[in-house]
């Protein structure tokens, strides 16, 4: 029979363009947020994090924006490259609570040459 799996939203971007990957988080008490990149056959790789006392944080070619009012997180990748093709996960946690992360289902980024 047909297999049913997680349907990952897919974002297709031309090489050199900027990418924006969005994530809605669930817990208004969450105060720590992380973006991971997972390439095929590999483990999730830390990209960037942000704490709730900030609304923007920049890394190398990546920027994370946090909007606590609407519980929204985004990852911006500048000048997207073929090596950026992967599944991107956001995760949230409450640092005064348990050690658990709540992971989003992920977004697949496809970079078109």
Partner 1 sequence: DARVTQTPRHKVTEMGQEVTMRCQPILGHNTVFWYRQTMMQGLELLAYFRNRAPLDDSGMPKDRFSAEMPDATLATLKIQPSEPRDSAVYFCASGRGRETQYFGPGTRLLVL
Q: Is 3 in the site for partner 1 (CB under 8 A)?
A: yes
Six-digit token pair at 79? 């000048």
Q: 14, 28 in Cβ contact below 8 A? A: no
Question: Which of 15, 16, 46, 112: binder of partner 1 (CB under 8 A)?
Answer: 46
Question: Which of 1, 40, 43, 53: binder of partner 1 (CB under 8 A)?
Answer: 43
Pairwise CA distance, residues 47 & 59, whole Å: 8
Six-digit token pair at 35? 């973006």
Q: Which residues bind partner 1 (CB under 8 A)?
A: 3-6, 32, 34, 36, 42-46, 49, 89, 93, 95, 98-101, 103, 105-106
């Amino acid at each position: 029979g047909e297999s049913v799996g997680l349907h990952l939203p897919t974002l297709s971007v031309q090489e050199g363009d900027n990418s924006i990957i969005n994530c809605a988080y669930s817990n208004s008490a969450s105060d720590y947020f992380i973006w991971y990149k997972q390439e095929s056959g590999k483990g999730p790789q830390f990209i960037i994090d942000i704490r709730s006392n900030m609304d923007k944080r920049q890394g190398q070619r990546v920027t994370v924006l946090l909007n606590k009012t609407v519980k929204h997180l985004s990852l911006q990748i500048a000048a997207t490259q073929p090596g950026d093709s992967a599944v991107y996960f956001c995760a949230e946690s409450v640092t005064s609570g348990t050690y658990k992360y709540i992971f989003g289902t992920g977004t697949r980024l496809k970079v078109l040459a």
